[in-house]
Structure formats: C-alpha cells, structure tokens
Structure 1
Amino acid sequence: MEENIKVGGMTYIVKVQEHFKSHDDERNLWGYCDYEQQIIYIRQSLSDQKKRQVLIHELTHAILHEVGYKEQDEELVSRFSIGLHQVLNDNPELLSV
C-alpha cells in the first residue's frame, strides 16, 4: 500500500511493507522516515491501530525536519506523537470541523 502526504510543501510517500532498512539502524523498527527520499515506512505486520500511531510518530519526524529541526529528541517525538494519536483517535469529529 502506498499513499502520498504533503508535509511542509514536500510530498512524502507512505509505504506499508514488512521489510525495510534504515540507512544506519539494524534494529527491527516499526517505522522509519527517510528524509532524503521523502518516504515513510510502516511495518505491515502491526495492528491497524499501531500502524496509525507509528504513522503519526513518523509524520512528526517529517514535520520537524521540513520546518528545520534537523536534530530531534526521540523521547519528545515519541511522547508528542502518542498524545496526538490519542487526541485524534478519541475525537474523530475533530478533523471534520
């Protein structure tokens, strides 16, 4: 599955697939944002709810990158994206305003 999302004027492709490898990380990641290629990878085997949470996490990285934050605090990104996921999930009508 692929979908396009505009972030800071750039088009990111979201790819949901089981296997992907970041440039410098050997861990079994749930998601990865490739800023150079504008690709967000999400692991296929995750539950739908976890995929959405990981997408929001990787989108947070993409947004911060595109507005100029090249050095990012992973703990801050994780905490913020979990909070944003909860707000969006618990208030689905929020985006229909």
Structure 2
Amino acid sequence: MKLPEKVLIDDVEYKIKEVSHRELQLSNEDLKGEFWGDTRYKPASIRICESMAEDEVKITLVHEIIHAILHERGFDQESDDESMVDGLAHAIRMLAKQNPELIREVLS
C-alpha cells in the first residue's frame, strides 16, 4: 500500500513516513513492547513500519491517526491509552469496511 505523504488533523499537518522495524524499536526503546508505528506530536509526524502486510499497514495508520486526533483535541491521557486507541482503530476500520456507503455519505 502506498501511504499518503501527510494527513491534516484539525489545523496540524502530520507527515507520514515508512521506516524500518528496527528504527521504530530503537526510537521507542524506553517503552515496553513491539512497535509497528508511532506518532510524534513535535514535529507532527506518523511513522509506520515498512515491512507489514497491507491490512496491517491500514490498521496501524488508523491507530496512529487516532493518537494524533486525541492529542490535538486535548485528550492527552486518553491518547496514551493503547488499549482504547487500538480498540477504536479496529472498530473504525470494521465500520468503514462493513458500511462503505455510510462512510461515503457521512464523511464526504
């Protein structure tokens, strides 16, 4: 999947970049777990692991966008809740896949 170069969240432009799995792990070594993407608020950027299947890339991008939306809306504590963000990402992805006509109408 070709990622978009950027996403506009409120008035903030987040650059989107594919990076290696190793780069994600090294830059997040102070945190626990495996990383397939991350969101940085300053500078506004989203990084996605380059070696994933297309569906994994899509769900990871939605996940990282949710982090950015929550942050830009002032929900910093919620933005740090990985379980909630992941649950929302999967729910939004399924909503879009199962209801494409609704998504076109509501979000156009």
Task: Identify whether the pair has TM-score above 0.5, normalized to the shorter chain.
Answer: yes
Indicate the residue corresponding to 2:60 in structure 1. 54
Are the structure 2 counterparts of residues 66 and 23 from structure 1 closer, same or farther at C-alpha, using a change threshold of 3 Å? Answer: farther
Q: For residues 7-86 of structure 1, what are the structure 2 equivalents within 5 Å?
A: 7-18=9-20, 19-20=23-24, 21-22=27-28, 24-25=30-31, 27-72=33-78, 73-86=81-94
Structure 2 residues without counterparts, runs of 5 or longer: none
Structure 1 residues without counterparts, runs of 5 or longer: none
- d(CA) in 2 for partners of 1:26 and 1:74? 12
**How many pairs does the alignment contain?**
97
Per-residue deviation, 1:25: 2.9
Identify which range, 33-42 or 15-24, moves more after superposition: 15-24
Per-residue deviation, 1:95: 3.8
- d(CA) in 2 for partners of 1:5 and 1:78? 19
Partner-residue secondary structure (3-state), 2:76: coil
Could you report, residue by residue, the CA deviation over 1:31-82 in whole angstroms, capped at 9, with x for unpaired residues?
1000111110110111011100000000000000000011122211111111
- d(CA) in 2 for partners of 1:2 and 1:87? 21
- d(CA) in 2 for partners of 1:90 and 1:17? 30
Could you report, residue by residue, the CA deviation over 1:7-30 in whole angstroms, capped at 9, with x for unpaired residues?
021000111121332384364300
State, as a whole percentage, how many aligned pairs show the same letter. 28
Q: Which has the larger radius of gyration?
A: 2
Following TM superposition, the consecutive aligned residue runs of length 4 or more in structure 1 with deviations greater than 4 angstroms are: none
Structure in which a larger fraction of residues adopt helix: 2
Aligned amino acid, residue 76 of structure 1: M
Q: Provide TM-score, normalisation by structure 1.
A: 0.86
Per-residue deviation, 1:2: 5.7
* RMSD of equivalent CA atoms: 1.9
Are the structure 2 counterparts of residues 23 and 69 from structure 1 closer, same or farther at C-alpha, using a change threshold of 3 Å? Answer: farther
